[in-house]
Amino acid sequence: MTRAKLFSGIILCFALFLSACGNGESQSNDTKKEQDRTVTDAMGEVTIPADAKRILAPNMEDSLVALGITPPAQWAIGTTVHDYLQPQLKDVPTIEWDLPLEQTIKAKPDLIIFGSPGSIQNGKYEEYKKIAPTYVFKEEESADWRKQLQIMGELLGKEKEAKSVKEDYNAKAKEQGAKIKAALGDETAAIIWIIGKQYYLFENTRFAANVLYTDLGVAQPDMIKGLPKAEAAWNPISLEALTDLDADHIFLASLPNEPGLASLKDSSVWKGLPAVKAGKVYEMKDPSNWTSNGPVANNLTIDQIVSSLTKK
């Protein structure tokens, strides 16, 4: 073989090598582009990065935790956080509920998720988009924890995990509901939430009441049946109005130091209620999961309801 032919062969091999490398890089880029997905949310279109790790989803941390994701910051109002999530989030810094831009930048999110357009304060949507891709739930989707979890799973590549969480929860609710039915029969229960000096009687679709009545199938007292739906009302009830609460069992969702709790227990109205007379009142001293909606919260609520209603 002549030197010229040998040299030409080397050049050809080198050219083929470069071409192969270039194709590999192109294929890698193409693969990444396929993984980055453009979806439609409440605001329009948004591209979800495939490699997003730092997911900032204020007030939706329950879904993240259920999917095995730790956010870079957790929702807070001052020093108030979701207490029931602190076993998983105790070392996670807080971010104020209205997501100040400075705090959001500091959190260094790869993706920001809002529960609804209304949860974006002061029209800062375009500002958040400059920090990271921003997905905004339609309110009716984020309000349904199962739908919220499903969409979260789709966005974050955790579809199997989301399906598993829902299936496990549904199986647990069915099993524990049967256990309660065997213990209680048609006896009724109600939930009173106390905050400050105000009393809230949970309608049948409000937070933990949805777990109690829908998921576990516990019977509703007549007074609960007559309340407006949760979507239409969120009003405190007077102490005097509780006279008509005909529940066989009552759950008190209140921190021990709420001033309204002492006033309630000292009142003749309270002392005259059937559940109180029968000693069937259960105090939930850490009520944060009772006023939240998500798989982690609802699993805890099921445990507490079953423990209270089936104890000897």
Q: What are the two backbone dihedrals, phi and then psi, of residue 26, each rounded to the nearest 5 degrees?
A: -65, -45
pLDDT of residue 14: 43
Rounded distance between C-alpha atoms, residue 113 and residue 136, angstroms: 6
pLDDT of residue 122: 86
Measured between alpha carbons, how far is residue 198 from residues 29, 236, 249 in Å? 58, 6, 20
Tell me the whole-structure pTM to 2 decimals: 0.87
pLDDT of residue 227: 86
Number of H helices, E strands in the chain: 14, 11
Dihedral class, residue 283 (left if φ above 0, else alpha if ψ from -120 to 50, else beta): beta
Per-residue pLDDT tens digits for 195-208:
999 999 999 999 99
208-212 contacts, C-beta under 8 A, 24 or more apart: 208/251, 208/253, 208/289, 208/290, 208/291, 208/298, 208/301, 208/305, 210/293, 211/173, 211/298, 211/301, 211/302, 211/305, 212/251, 212/301, 212/305
Rounded distance between C-alpha atoms, residue 247 and residue 258, angstroms: 23
Which residues of the chain have a pLDDT value below 70?
1-34, 230-233, 312
Rounded distance between C-alpha atoms, residue 198 and residue 195, angstroms: 6
Chain centre distance of CA 94? 16
Rounded distance between C-alpha atoms, residue 107 and residue 298, angstroms: 28
Which domains, from first to last, does the chain contain?
38-160 (3.40.50.1980), 182-309 (3.40.50.1980)
How would you classify the pairing of strands 111-114 and 134-136? parallel
Chain centre distance of CA 263? 32
Contact residues for 200 (Cβ-Cβ < 8 A; gap 6+) = 192, 193, 194, 234, 235, 236, 237
Residue 107 parent element (H or E): helix 101-107
pLDDT of residue 228: 80
Please tell me the total number of residues recorded for the chain in this structure: 312
pLDDT of residue 16: 46
pLDDT of residue 235: 87
pLDDT of residue 34: 52
Map residue 52 onto helix, strand or coil: coil
How would you classify the pairing of strands 37-41 and 134-136? unpaired
- DSSP state, 78? T
pLDDT of residue 123: 87
Residue bearing tokens 């807070």: 76
Per-residue pLDDT tens digits for 32-77:
445 899 999 999 999 999 999 999 999 999 999 999 999 999 999 9
Map residue 286 onto helix, strand or coil: coil
Rounded distance between C-alpha atoms, residue 20 and residue 49, angstroms: 27
